Amino acid sequence: MTPRVLFIVTSDPRTSGKPAEAIRIAAGVGAWKKTEVSIYLRDAAVLALSEDTADLVNEENYTRYLPMVAEVPHRVFVQQDNPALSDLGESAIKFESLTDTELAKLAAEHQYILRF
């Protein structure tokens, strides 16, 4: 059974380096191809998916590592009905929206959960 890791990111990428570090670590763990990686972005953290990363802390992590994270079988999720989605504009990668109930089910399917 392949271990599954869920990264839950809630920090604002405009003011915190935590989302960038989560993306970098997720890309590194996923590169091993021995672990299934999922990322869930909540609140302002969804802005990490923007094509324009110039205003984000550690912007190079997004341009360098986010495409690696988006590769199959890795999955990216966002909070459904998140007000920050309207500020996102065009997303750099595909993502799925989840309700809080769906997030709970997703978390239950993972052996490891890391929060940033």
Percent of the chain scored above 90 by pLDDT? 71
Return d(Cα 96, Cα 106) in angstroms, integer: 12
Return d(Cα 93, Cα 65) in angstroms, integer: 12
Please determine, for residue 61, whether its predicted confidence score (pLDDT) is greater than 70: yes
Taken in order of first residue, the domains within the chain and their CATH numbers are 4-115 (3.40.1260.10)
Which carries the bigger pLDDT value, residue 99 or residue 54?
99
Most confident range (mean pLDDT) of 9-18, 58-67, 85-94 is 9-18
pLDDT interval class at 72 (50, 70, 90): low
Residue 39 to residues 84, 90, 100, 107, Cα–Cα distance (Å): 17, 18, 14, 11
Mean pLDDT value across the chain: 91
pTM: 0.92
Please determine, for residue 2, whether its predicted confidence score (pLDDT) is greater than 70: yes
Q: Which of the 8 DSSP states describes residue 50? A: B
